[in-house]
Structure 1
Amino acid sequence: MTLEAGNARRANTTAGTGSETDPDRAERRQRTIVLVVLCGTGFLFSHDVSLHSIAVPTLLQQLGDRPNLHIAQWTPKVYVLTFAALLMLGGALADRLGAKRVLVGGYLMYLAGAAVHVAVPTTVLPLALARVVMGAAVALIIPANLLVLSAVSGSSLHRAKAFTIWAGCCAAGVTVVPLVTGLILNDVLWPKVMVAIGISAVALLIGIIRFVPVMPADPGSPVDWPTITIATLGSGLTVFAFLQAPEWGWAAPWVAGPLVGGLVLAITSAVIRRGGHLPLDYLFRADARLRPAIFAVAVAVLTLCGMVFLTVQYLQAVRGHAPIVAGTIIFLPSCAATVIGAKLGQLVRRPYGVTAAFTCGLTAILDGLAFGLTADAAGDLGAIVAMVTAASVGFGMVMSVGLDMVSAALSASGDGIAWAAMETTVQVAGYLGLAIVGSLVDRGYHAGLVVPGHIPAPDGVAMSHDSLGKGVAAAAASGGDGIGAPLADAVQNAFLTGYRHGLLATIAVVAAVMIGILVSAARSKSSAERF
């Protein structure tokens, strides 16, 4: 059901006068409010998921304010893991129960978990259980949110604008992570951040209840539960492997095993299914014209997650500015650049086609990553701001064109499982980016760390095996005894080695996808000319 439904009924009335009736204005106003609420949802939860997958694990290591740090580090991971694994279930429930009902239920679950989080911020077990509930809630919310957004957008023009705005809000939710990281590093207590997120969620829930139209439920909607169950387990195992690969190594049994198991389950789900959509469809079974869009969107998300991860690590290891100031300096240009990129993407697409738009967008991303390579231990944010700004322009171009194409294809199917499968593909790509960059940063850091000779041997051996976050914490703790400055320099230089390795790997991935898109476009053009 779209909010444009009344336009056709009033077409004859308004055609002759050329004026807009009061019902038309009210309808347009309601559509705008609904778009604001849905895009606010995209911003809030893309921020929350990104914060827990990108920043919180290393912040816990640096701040070290949990009674059992090893167990506490699993708190953000179980949130991310639950979210990614249960997206397909969220899409199925949106079809069966109605998208608005699932949205409201998801928000209530999220707020219940947030209340526990605020009440017992340092008690590990209740906190972990609350995060599981919150991850499941977001897995319900995101497919339902996309389904409603597609339904209320109506015409292709409005749909393109709606998804462009939604993509920009999600990107802003990711790029605000360095700003929130700055708040946490400036000793703003984590529960206060959670209270702010909870208040925002309450406001959005009120907007959903008040303004979002009821979407019809379809209790008889066909759902291939065995296939969805297997696909859910496969996604969970794959994301688990990606989350742990930087810490345990790709060859570790508890990484390689789940990775192989996830691949086997994904293939099994594709073999036994009786219909519907699966995440692998968007990579291997999508229409030839749609596949480049999927790959471009996936690599854009992969790059964004990896880039923000490196930015957060840079703010921790190379603190040339106050973290809150640095986060603000980075966040504001990235938001403006994403908006500009979204507009540029559509402007390039109209006269020159989608291949040109994707190529320009990916080139801008490559330019941004190249700027990032010039960052050094001096702490000057110029290189980081240039990297994030240029890459955000490219991200906006790719996402505005890619999501427009994807939404046009999925709007025809009109079911939540299709949106859930697409979102699972994008999320897994983002976690793969984090895994690749995180692994290379960790390897480069340990390979490049030269512990100053005046540090006692046992402490030096321990530091050579510790993570970057612990290294930063150790340097800060040694600040007053003559050891802190040399140790901080060693940690910074070692981090920059891994930082550059991560950027170079991301550049290679983006370049490979761009070449693939160009080759695919050339083959399609050649085939068309042949016939």
Structure 2
Amino acid sequence: MPDRFAPQQQLVVAIAVLGSFVSFLDGTLVNVALPAIDRDLGGGLATQQWAVDAYLVTLGALILLAGSVSDAFGRLLVLRIGLIGFGVASIAVALAPTAVFLIVARAVQGAAGAFLVPSSLALITSTIRGPSQARAIGIWTALTTSAMVAGPLIGGLFVDHLSWRFAFLAGIVPIAATLLLLPRLDAPDHREPGATVDWWGGALCTFGLGLIVFALIEEPDAGWSSALVWAPLVAGCALFTGFLWRQRHAASPVLPLGLFRIRTFAAGNLATLFVYGALSLSGFVLAIYLQQGAGLSATLAGLASLPTTIVMIALSSRFGALSGRLGPRLFMTVGPLVMAGGTLLLLTIETAFDYWWQVLPGMLVSGLGLSITVAPLTSAILGSVDSARSGIASAVNNAVARVAGLLAIAAVAAVIGGTLDLGGLRSSVLLCAALLVLGGIASLVGIRNPPPGDPS
């Protein structure tokens, strides 16, 4: 921990990292476990998609509600609830006897995870200000985003040497550590006076997204003409439209649409939509293809992403600090373009598979681009709003990231033509690169650096 942090600030960063770590970890370790889950519980590609998207539906929708709840009832209380709920749901996933039980347990796990990220990051933004905040966010970003990338490795080790079930218990240790550290934090649990929570808005968002995702996953098998597809799609769009309408009229909306009138906030979230959609799609298809197409074990498929993790750990805090001094626009523009270049290097993958020449270069370049992007992106979005609204701002940004991944994975069967072979992988790679380029363009056009001397 850097010397510039006081002991309590070090503790804040440690709690924020550990509290968020489990949510990011479980969001990605599932990818390498998918073939094993399919072999054990059955269901094919649809079960694999739902094992990921059931988690992302509740996480992406309820993370908005959790942001409001954390502002209304206190970030530390919400963090405790999320940690305990996540631990219980993780045990349920590990014990799942059927695919349906696993999918339901994953949805509960995502709901608990929704309470972790906004309250954790808001804890940093409300207690650490000035240049130290940018460095703290860089550390948080490096370690939590690295959890997203390291998750496949951890999951692969469990899958190959124990069982995919044990992989979902990996978060129990950081959960216990965070619960032990929380009583040592000498900080008041901040609550917004008179704050209320829009429970109806949260329900409309959750069921609207859930029905849309159901339709996208079922469409490749049933077709658009099937009532099993168009009926939930229409209902989901209607519910989500009702959610947006309610946000314009609710006294305490879970998604304050007025935030999007802030140029940097709106552009940063648009960039998030593109970048995290690409990240989720590439992680999903690569983890499955390396096992089912290239014939690697789950551990080796997880090790494929390790170079990206190492680059992230080494560089993210540095780019976070640079962004604090120079402004985020340059980094948010260049970073996604570098990631796009790294992603396109995966087009070199052939039937005669060679990790060192076909995958490793892309992992290294993508890791560099990710390091350049994520800390400045987070800092820009949270720095564009006042600290009193940091909880909901963090929730909105994280919800956008999760919804991006949710929709990308739900639509993967349409992108790959229903089969994740080499052709399907290449189609996915091209789509990911296009999304990353759009993320860089959105940042170039929309992001504005804060005026010199602005502490945010």
TM-score by structure 2 length?
A: 0.83
* In 2: Cα distance, 1:333 partner to 1:421 partner: 26
Contact 2:126–2:390 at 8 Å: present in 1 too?
no
Unaligned runs of 5+ in 1: 1-24, 446-467, 469-494, 525-531
* In 1: Cα distance, 2:250 partner to 2:442 partner: 31
* In 1: Cα distance, 2:193 partner to 2:323 partner: 43
Q: 2:350 maps to which residue? A: 376
Q: Is 1:509 matched with 2:431?
A: no
3-state SS, counterpart of residue 263 of structure 2: coil
Q: Is 1:223 matched with 2:223?
A: no
Q: Report 1:314-333 matches (<5 A).
A: 314-319=289-294, 322-333=297-308
Q: 1:171 maps to which residue? A: 145
1:250-269 Cα distance to aligned partner (Å, 9 max, x none): 77654454444444333333
Q: Select 1:388's aligned residue among 357, 363, 373.
A: 363
Q: Is 1:500 matched with 2:422?
A: no
* In 1: Cα distance, 2:212 partner to 2:204 partner: 12
Q: Select 2:277's aligned residue among 302, 310, 314.
A: 302
2:299 maps to amino acid: I
Q: 2:7 maps to which residue? A: 29
* In 2: Cα distance, 1:185 partner to 1:136 partner: 25
Contact 1:114–1:134 at 8 Å: present in 2 too?
yes
Contact 1:237–1:261 at 8 Å: present in 2 too?
yes
Q: Report 1:160-239 matches (<5 A).
A: 160-211=134-185, 213-218=187-192, 220-239=194-213
1:140 maps to amino acid: F
Contact 2:67–2:254 at 8 Å: present in 1 too?
no
Contact 1:238–1:258 at 8 Å: present in 2 too?
yes
Q: 1:348 to 1:97 in 2, by over 3 A?
A: closer
Q: C-alpha root-mean-square deviation of aligned residues, in Å?
A: 3.5
Displacement of 1:498 after TM fit?
0.7
Structure 1 residues 86-95 or 368-377, which shifts more? 86-95
Contact 1:367–1:391 at 8 Å: present in 2 too?
yes
2:64 maps to amino acid: M
* In 2: Cα distance, 1:354 partner to 1:113 partner: 37
* In 2: Cα distance, 1:414 partner to 1:370 partner: 38
Q: 2:398 maps to which residue? A: 423
Contact 2:15–2:181 at 8 Å: present in 1 too?
yes
3-state SS, counterpart of residue 343 of structure 2: helix
* In 2: Cα distance, 1:350 partner to 1:217 partner: 31
Structure 1 residues 368-377 or 508-517, which shifts more? 508-517
**Percent pairwise identity:** 23
Q: Report 1:206-355 matches (<5 A).
A: 206-211=180-185, 213-218=187-192, 220-241=194-215, 244=218, 253-272=227-246, 273-276=249-252, 279=255, 281=257, 285-319=260-294, 322-337=297-312, 339-340=314-315, 343-344=318-319, 347=322, 350-351=325-326, 354-355=328-329
Q: 1:428 to 1:255 in 2, by over 3 A?
A: farther
Q: 2:384 maps to which residue? A: 409
* In 2: Cα distance, 1:375 partner to 1:71 partner: 25
* In 1: Cα distance, 2:226 partner to 2:133 partner: 45
TM-score by structure 1 length?
A: 0.73
Displacement of 1:239 after TM fit?
4.3
Displacement of 1:71 after TM fit?
10
3-state SS, counterpart of residue 56 of structure 2: helix
3-state SS, counterpart of residue 340 of structure 1: helix
Displacement of 1:368 after TM fit?
0.4
Displacement of 1:427 after TM fit?
0.9
Displacement of 1:27 after TM fit?
7.7
Contact 1:334–1:388 at 8 Å: present in 2 too?
no
Q: 1:60 maps to which residue? A: 37
Displacement of 1:69 after TM fit?
7.6
* In 2: Cα distance, 1:509 partner to 1:249 partner: 26
Which structure has the higher relative contact order (CA within 8 Å, separation 6+)? 2
* In 1: Cα distance, 2:404 partner to 2:393 partner: 17
* In 1: Cα distance, 2:225 partner to 2:307 partner: 40
* In 1: Cα distance, 2:313 partner to 2:228 partner: 38
* In 2: Cα distance, 1:335 partner to 1:247 partner: 40
Q: 1:86 maps to which residue? A: 62
Q: 1:195 to 1:225 in 2, by over 3 A?
A: closer
Contact 1:60–1:69 at 8 Å: present in 2 too?
no
Q: 1:476 maps to which residue? A: none
Contact 1:234–1:262 at 8 Å: present in 2 too?
yes
Contact 1:333–1:385 at 8 Å: present in 2 too?
no
Displacement of 1:182 after TM fit?
2.6
Contact 1:441–1:502 at 8 Å: present in 2 too?
yes
Displacement of 1:57 after TM fit?
4.1
* In 2: Cα distance, 1:140 partner to 1:44 partner: 12
1:276-320 Cα distance to aligned partner (Å, 9 max, x none): 5555849x9332233322222222212211221132023212446
1:441-498 Cα distance to aligned partner (Å, 9 max, x none): 244x3xxxxxxxxxxxxxxxxxxxxxx5xxxxxxxxxxxxxxxxxxxxxxxxxx1111
Contact 2:59–2:114 at 8 Å: present in 1 too?
yes
* In 1: Cα distance, 2:191 partner to 2:250 partner: 22
Q: Select 1:108's aligned residue among 81, 84, 101.
A: 84
